[in-house]
Each structure stands twice: as C-alpha cells, then as structure tokens.
Amino acid sequence: MMIKKSKRSIPQIPKAMNLTSKLLLVCLPVTLLFFQSMVTHAQKIMSISEELHQNGEKFEVVTKGGGRIVKYHFNSYRVTSAKGGWVKGKSSSGLFSAYETASSEKKLSFEFVSDQGDTAVVYLNRNMNYEGINKSGLTFFGNNSTLTIGGYQEILENSDNLFGIIETNMADSTWNFAVSENFGSRHGGQTALVGWLTDGQRRIDIYPVYHYQNPGKKSAIDLMVGSQIWLKGFEFIENGSPIGAVQVGPYKFVAWFSKKNDPMTNFVIGSSFAALMHEYQMDLDGGTSNF
C-alpha cells in the first residue's frame, strides 16, 4: 500500500510586495544620506575674529571611521590611531539626605601625524564631578495627571575638566593644555569655560565660541538641539592675536590657521584641534561631549 505524501503549498510573497521591499532597501540608505547631507549643509560656520578671517587659512575637516576616535584629516594633518577610551565613575547619595555626588573619568591617547613626517602622541584625561541636591516631594496621582509638592532640585557645582599632554618630534619640550567648564549655584548659575595651551614658555589662551558668523534664521541643527546657545568651537589667542580656531561639529568640522604661524605652531595647535573635536562634538541625543 503506497502512502502519498501531501504537498504543502509554500506561501508566495506577492511580487508587488517583493518589489516594494527592494525599493525600501535601496531608497532608505539614500534617503538617510541625503538627510545627513542636507543637515551638514544647513549647519553654519561659527564666528571667528576678523583678524583670523582676513589673515587665516580655512580647512574643511574630513572624518573617517569611528571606534575610539574619529580619524580627522585636515590641512596636511590626520589622526592615525588611538588607545584607551575607558570610563570609570562612581556616585553616592545619603539614605536620609538629599545631597548627591557623582564623578567620572576617561583616559585616551591618539597619534597625530603630518604629510611631512611630523608625529605627535596626545594623551587625554577628562574628569567630571557633580554635587547637587535632589529632594523628593509628595506626589499625588490622578486619573490623567500627577502633582508633586515639596520637591527640590539644585545643581550646586558641576565641573568638566579636560587635560592634555602633547609629545611631538617638532618641539624639544612637551606641550600641555587644559579646558575647564564649571557651572551651578556656587558659580551664580553661570557657566564659566576657560582653557590654555603652553610649553612653559609660550601661553595660548583657548576661548569658547557660541555664535555663528551669519546667524540669520535657525538652522536644522539649532532646531534639533532646541537652542542657538550651544558650544560651536574654540578660538586660540596668543598675545592678543588669534592664531587658529576649530569648529567641533556636530556635522561640519572646520579648522583655521593664521598665515603668520610657523609649522611647529600649526602642528601643535592642530593636534589639540583633533582632541577638542573628539571631546566636544555635539551629541544630538543629549550633551556636548563624547564622555
């Protein structure tokens, strides 16, 4: 007696659906690239001093890859490799106290080179410290809303410090730089951001830039962030004169060098530009750092 095996019919995907899926697979990446290109084009150029605008050279920064650090390439300089990037942190709060503290630290190093054979290793250490009061109130829950009475939150102090060491074959001495930001009620509710770069003989001040060259209407980036008052980049000043500047993204990266600079100065400030672009690139999901 022969038993006939029943043939199960395999559901066929309609050709129209198949075509739609293929179109989505092709169009979606193109749409995303177009959107990113549009946003990048929409981002304006940050404001720089008139002297640097007239007597400086501007370079668009090309970015490649990711990992521990983006491979920035501008002028004749580029980042080639990186190590570290680990983060450690701790936080504490009292059982019967509203006082809270938190801290975190990150270390990273990267190699920076020029087409002329110059090399530098940049060592970074970034730490953040927070002190605040977070007092829970009494919450009443309703059908459509909640009401909290007596709650209280205050940032007493929040500090963000970036320290860097630059060792290069272009200079006999080691260069050091620091960028420090503090805000909170202990600072009158204001944000204070200062920085400097030195080899022990020369001192270059690093100033934050919060504005565009031609503000005009809000760009797509500003609409996404929700405000125009966010860090655009930094300008480097020595003895009252600008020697360079860097725009730190989030999509458009730009570097400026004064035409009066010598090659060693350009290489040193260029290596610090790479560090600042990495550490202070705007994170559109929340924050202005890669911490």
CB 261 within 8 A of CB 244: yes
- Number of domains observed in the structure of the chain: 1
Distant-in-sequence, close-in-space partners of 241: CB < 8 Å, separation ≥ 6: 51, 258, 260
What pLDDT score does 40 carry? 45
- What pLDDT does 17 receive? 47
Query: Facing residues of 89 across strands?
Result: 104
Report pLDDT for 228: 52
Q: With respect to residue 244, please indicate whether it lies within any of the assigned structural domains.
A: yes
Residue 172 forms part of a structural domain: yes
132-147 pLDDT, tens per residue? Answer: 887 766 666 666 666 5
Q: Is 239 part of any domain?
A: yes
3 occurs within a structural domain: no
For 266, the domain range is: 45-280
Which pLDDT value is given to residue 224?
Answer: 55
What's residue 37's pLDDT? Answer: 44
pLDDT given for residue 247 in this prediction: 96
Instruction: Identify whether 65 is part of a domain.
Output: yes
Is 173 part of a structural domain of the chain?
A: yes
Cis-peptide into 208, omega within 30 deg:
no
CA distances from 233 to 48, 61, 127, 229, 288 (A): 10, 13, 20, 12, 11
pLDDT tens-place values along the chain, 291 residues long: 444 444 444 455 455 445 555 444 554 444 444 434 444 445 689 999 999 999 999 999 999 877 778 899 999 999 999 998 667 787 887 666 778 899 999 999 999 999 999 999 999 999 999 998 877 666 666 666 665 565 667 888 899 999 999 999 988 889 999 999 998 887 777 788 999 999 999 999 999 999 888 766 665 555 555 445 678 999 999 999 999 999 998 888 999 999 999 999 999 999 999 999 999 986 544 445 555
At 33 the pLDDT is 42
19 in a domain, yes or no? Answer: no
pTM of structure: 0.76
**Residue 1 confidence (pLDDT):** 46
Q: Is residue 286 assigned to a domain?
A: no
Q: What is the DSSP string of the chain?
A: -PPPPPPPPPPPPPHHHHHHHHHHHHHHHHHHHHHHHHHHHHSPPBP--HHHHHHEEEEEPEEE--TTS-EEEETTEEEEEEEEEEEEEEEEE-TT--EEEEEEEEEEEEEEEETTS-EEEEEEEEEEEEEEEEE--EEEE-SS-EEEES-EEEEEEEEEEEEEEEEETT-SS-EEEEEEEEESGGGTT--EEEEEEESSS-EEEEEEE--BSS--S--HHHHHHT-S-S--EEEEEETTEEEEEEEE-SS-EEEEEETT--HHHHHHHHHHHHHHHHHH---TTS-SS--
Among the listed residues 168, 92, 157, 166, the one whose alpha carbon sits nearest the alpha carbon of residue 130: 157
